[in-house]
Structure 1
Amino acid sequence: MRYCSLGSGSKGNGTLIEQGQTRLLVDCGFSLRSTEQRLRQAGLKGEQLTAILVTHEHSDHIQGVAKLARRYELPVYLTPGTGYALREEGLDLRWLDLNTRVVIDELEVSPIAVPHDAREPCQFIFDNAQQRLGVLTDTGTITPWIIEQYTRLDALFLEANYDPHMLAYGPYPGFLKARVGGNLGHLSNQQAAGLLNMIDLEQLQHIAIAHISEKNNRPELARDALTEALANWTGELLLAEQNQGLPWQTISGLSHHHCAQAGADNGKTY
């Protein structure tokens, strides 16, 4: 299994997950033209996509969904609440139940309920029967359910949206600060680090820091906060950016222990 980001942040989001010939796009917050351009940079065309999955209806996640789905006749998987907000005619909408896994070709997808100020938001865990990739952004607080579901992953695409000090003293109006920092907003650097302290990291090969605010955070602040929580971890900490996204990352088929050994043999870390 491998994954990449077409872009991550408040100006647009899109994450690709690939297993064999199965290619799923999680969210599409860019214009059709920009999406096609970003897909090309990832070495893909719209025709090669299998389906679009939607986490929630905010424009930075849903802006290009309908046009992309229409142009390439793609099914769109989403919760009924998100579908209600989308209100688009003529799409092949497939309803997700937050308690039920769905198999899309070569991947099993688990929609995970998260607290966010949307109608029926969710995030996703992808499973190919050997590896598990978790995507967790746009979440206001870490719940016991999230901790239970996101433990023992092989890769994690994780939001670290804001630095509390920068948010407090930044340019956002008061109501927006309250929204971002509230229980239905986004994860701070410290909340993201907190999750890492509460889950089993043993087989985790990489963590991609995602959805970093351009006004209320800096990549180095996010990285520092997470690094502190990863004291004895030997995996790779990556950064998904707004404009460049994140290039393809392959999740190794080896167990974590084999990885560490191979890393020692090759003189590099995995």
Structure 2
Amino acid sequence: MGLYFTSINSGSNGNCYYVGNDQEAVLVDIGLTCKEVERRMARLNLQIDKVKAIFISHEHTDHIKGLSVFARKYKLPVYISTSTLKSSKLLLDENSVRPIQHLEPVMIGGLKIAPFSKFHDAADPYSFTIEYNDVRVGVFTDIGAVCERLINQFKTCHAVFLEANYDTEMMENGRYPYFLKRRIMGGHGHLSNKQALELFLNHKSEHLSHLLLSHLSKDNNDPQLVEKLFKTVCGDTFVKVASRYEESEVYFVGQQTQPTYCFNPEDYQPEQLNLF
């Protein structure tokens, strides 16, 4: 037994990640509309009734846009820090809100979700690991700097969504104003390709089988460039860029048990959506 995982979308236009086993699943962030999340999950043959909870990393719009509607429609608990909820100004049913804190794990059925704090320019931002049957998937995006907390969690994962937001040269020579470049590169913004690569090379475990490069900048990165950068040194780890325009395939990671989900690429025809 292991975990299925997919990126519903990854980028500044909306973030949403699905992780679960055969019985239950969680969503990390809902930065797309409720209707769009429903469409994409349907195309992947993922059943919404398996989703038992939503975990929110921070209050920026690209992580919470569809949260209120989705949580209310499907009567789901929302795990969110008190400071994040206050800063988000969201109107959530108070009975659905569950506070999270650093390194205090939450059990959702057989899933163990562990939040840990990170560097980002938000009120109280978190990353998450989701564990089942000794298999662990990490969702590590919107991170300003690599810290010991991130390193310690990264080392334990079998699969990871890892931010590789920008190419440093493209950012420095790009059209962004100086203050925005400072914000992104200043230690509380986002990880560069180089920072993500160094984390991967120095701290990946032998059992890290999947790496989904996530939250790429539309203006300051190139999916082909960053995928090639990692694939030249990835060894046996599967590397793929999580798209900002469509959902990824559903992947499986486990110990020995074979997955019951069978993904047929011939049946998968995602719509290309330009959200700008």
**TM-score normalized by the length of structure 2:** 0.87
Please give the residue correspondences for 1:61-210 in structure 2 after superposition, counting only pairs within 5 Å.
Answer: 61-87=63-89, 88-91=91-94, 92-210=96-214
SS in 1 for 2:254: coil
Q: Is the 8 A contact 1:192 1:226 kept in 2?
A: no
SS in 1 for 2:250: strand
Cα shift at 1:187:
0.5
* Residue equivalent to 1:47: 49
* Residue equivalent to 2:269: none
Q: Is the 8 A contact 1:112 1:123 kept in 2?
A: yes
Cα shift at 1:227:
3.3
SS in 1 for 2:98: strand
Decide which of 175, 198, 214 is 2:218's aligned counterpart: 214
* Residue equivalent to 1:226: 230
Distance verdict in 2 for CA 1:57–1:108, change over 3 Å: same
Distance verdict in 2 for CA 1:224–1:44, change over 3 Å: closer
CA distance in 1, matches of 2:104, 2:50: 26
CA distance in 2, matches of 1:144, 1:124: 15
CA distance in 2, matches of 1:45, 1:82: 28
CA distance in 1, matches of 2:237, 2:229: 16
SS in 2 for 1:246: coil
Q: Is the 8 A contact 2:60 2:88 kept in 1?
A: no
Decide which of 3, 6, 27 is 1:4's aligned counterpart: 6
Cα shift at 1:146:
1.0
CA distance in 1, matches of 2:223, 2:204: 24
Q: How big is each residue's C-alpha offset from its partner over 1:157-187, in whole Å with a ceiling of 9 and x where there is no partner? A: 1110000111111122221111111100000
Please give the residue correspondences for 1:24-39 in structure 2 after superposition, counting only pairs within 5 Å.
Answer: 24-39=26-41
Q: CA RMSD in A?
A: 1.6
Residue identity matched to 1:75? P
Q: Which moves more between the two structures, 107-116 or 127-136?
A: 127-136
Cα shift at 1:97:
1.1
Cα shift at 1:17:
0.5
CA distance in 1, matches of 2:123, 2:167: 26
Q: Is the 8 A contact 1:36 1:45 kept in 2?
A: no
Q: Is the 8 A contact 2:68 2:92 kept in 1?
A: no
Relative contact order (C-alpha < 8 Å, sep 6+): which is higher? 2
CA distance in 1, matches of 2:200, 2:92: 41
Residue identity matched to 2:67? V
Q: Is the 8 A contact 1:152 1:199 kept in 2?
A: no
* Residue equivalent to 2:248: 246
CA distance in 2, matches of 1:122, 1:139: 9
Distance verdict in 2 for CA 1:138–1:71, change over 3 Å: same
Cα shift at 1:248:
0.3
Cα shift at 1:129:
2.9
Structure 1: any 5+ residue segments left out of the alignment? 256-270
CA distance in 1, matches of 2:161, 2:256: 19
Q: List 4+ stretches of structure 1 deviating above 4 A.
A: none
Q: How big is each residue's C-alpha offset from its partner over 1:116-140, in whole Å with a ceiling of 9 and x where there is no partner? A: 0000000101111321111100000
Cα shift at 1:15:
0.4
**TM-score normalized by the length of structure 1:** 0.89
Q: Is the 8 A contact 1:79 1:98 kept in 2?
A: no
Count residues with an aligned counterpart. Answer: 253
SS in 2 for 1:112: strand
